[in-house]
Structure 1
Amino acid sequence: MKILATGAVAMTAVLATAGSSVAAGQDDILLYDAGRFVPLGEGTGVVPKAVTYNEELVPPGSQIHVAQGIRGNSMLIDIATLGLDPGHTYGTHVHTEPCGADPADAGGHYQDQQGVVDEDSEVWLDFTVDERGVGQAEVYKNWLFRAGEAGSLVLHERGTSEGHDEHPPGDAGARVACFSIPFAGVPAA
């Protein structure tokens, strides 16, 4: 088993998110990272790992926890948030680049099938925050990221549209926060 940890590792939590009671195998990859959202440092030029662009929807000090479990050619991604706006629904997607000073710096949505905008080709992790300020979502994919092409998790101002409303498929409004995380992937063939 390979363990990639870019934050404090809570192994029990990571294994629980893998959705299996079977012991982790030698080829499994488990990645866990966490952060506290902070606003951009004024004049410092430093972009925090977890940055809030909208302090009303993502207050400074609120937290995000992300786990990625890989087994074979499939993966499970699990996120949990603490301290966000109770009752609010956030559209949350994996983006191609790390976070930056401008919300657009995170690039577009990661797409398994490039040019295809739907929940099968992209990673949509929408969640509604409960009365305690806790949000949680997970998604299982029968594919893996291409190495180096999934660089962040972006929280958007509303749930993701499937194209049945006035918004195009995949649209979730403004980017309100970003968490840079080097998701594990497979090298291009």
Structure 2
Amino acid sequence: MSLVKAATAAVAMAASMAIATPAVAAPPRPFVFVHDNFQPASQAKSAGAVTYDKSLVPTTATAFVAELRLGGKGMEQHEKNMHGGHYKMHSGTFIFLSLRGVAADHHFGIHVHTKACGTKPDASGPHYQNKKDPKQPSTNPKYANRHNEVWLDVTTNGSGKGYAKAWVKWHFRSGEARSVVIHKHATGTTSGKAGEAGARVACVNVPFK
């Protein structure tokens, strides 16, 4: 089984447990799970997820985000427990996103951002970058790409459901990745437009490790 398939299976299993038992305390490291309904932007101070465009992301919609951190400092014992010390997992971060009840047959550009959601769309700051572009806003494909950022673009089906997953070979810096932002259009990749995806239509707070 490939690394991505194995990570997907692990996240899916843990996710189903988390959703089925919401009263249970948050899963232990290295997992992070967020499962929220979107609220009006005016409630950003207390809401886990907010919408800035109810025609694309209504308040009846929900988002699920999961992070699985593999390898690195503090994970040695966890990996030993999982594999009996006979197998060293690759180091990196796996992120899974699922949306329900959003606009049907629509392609959303979605990325991890540096700040928490706010009442205004730009409150969530720029994209999180493993290697920071010295020129901001970053539209240089050398920095604004799916290997240096986390891109989770989703194309929904006729029922407004969709999911995406991403794997990067690094970990988030502590406290510097705080949300997942949903944009109106697909993410651009050309010079001068790399990473751009139109207006920010919704935001989900995620306390990434």
> TM-score when scaled to structure 2?
0.72
Which structure carries more helix by proportion? 2
1:101 is aligned, of 98, 111, 119, to 119
The code of the aligned residue for 2:199 comes to A
Q: Which residue in the other structure is 2:88 paired with? A: none
The answer as to whether partners of 1:14 and 1:30 remain within 8 angstroms in 2 is no
Higher Rg = 2
1:135 is aligned, of 162, 166, 172, to 162
Distance 1:88 1:110, change over 3 A: same
Q: Which residue in the other structure is 2:39 paired with? A: 38
Distance 1:127 1:87, change over 3 A: same
The code of the aligned residue for 1:38 comes to Q
* CA apart distance, 1:13: 4.1
* CA apart distance, 1:48: 1.8
**Runs (5+) with no aligned partner, structure 2:** 1-10, 18-27, 72-90, 134-142
Residues of 2 paired with 1:108 and 1:169: CA distance? 13
Q: Which residue in the other structure is 1:113 paired with? A: 131
> TM-score when scaled to structure 1?
0.79
Structure 2 residue 207 is the aligned partner of structure 1 residue 182: yes
Task: Name the Cα RMSD after superposition.
Answer: 2.2
* CA apart distance, 1:49: 1.5
Q: Which residue in the other structure is 2:178 paired with? A: 151
Task: Render the CA deviation track for 1:114-134: whole Å, top value 9, x for unaligned.
Answer: 012111111110010011211
* CA apart distance, 1:67: 0.6
* CA apart distance, 1:14: 3.6
* CA apart distance, 1:145: 0.4
1:74 is aligned, of 68, 85, 92, to 92
Residues of 1 paired with 2:33 and 2:205: CA distance? 12
What is the SS of the residue equivalent to 1:145?
A: coil
The code of the aligned residue for 1:170 comes to G
The code of the aligned residue for 1:147 comes to S
Runs of 4+ in structure 1 off by over 6 angstroms are none
Count of equivalent residues: 161
* CA apart distance, 1:157: 0.2
Percent identity of paired positions between Structure 1 and Structure 2: 35
The code of the aligned residue for 2:102 comes to L
Distance 1:123 1:78, change over 3 A: same
Residues of 1 paired with 2:152 and 2:114: CA distance? 15
Task: Render the CA deviation track for 1:50-89: whole Å, top value 9, x for unaligned.
Answer: 0000000101120000010111031110000000111000
Q: Which residue in the other structure is 1:21 paired with? A: none
1:161 is aligned, of 188, 191, 195, to 188
**Runs (5+) with no aligned partner, structure 1:** 1-9, 17-26, 185-189
Distance 1:45 1:34, change over 3 A: closer
The code of the aligned residue for 2:64 comes to H
Distance 1:68 1:168, change over 3 A: same
What is the SS of the residue equivalent to 1:12?
A: helix
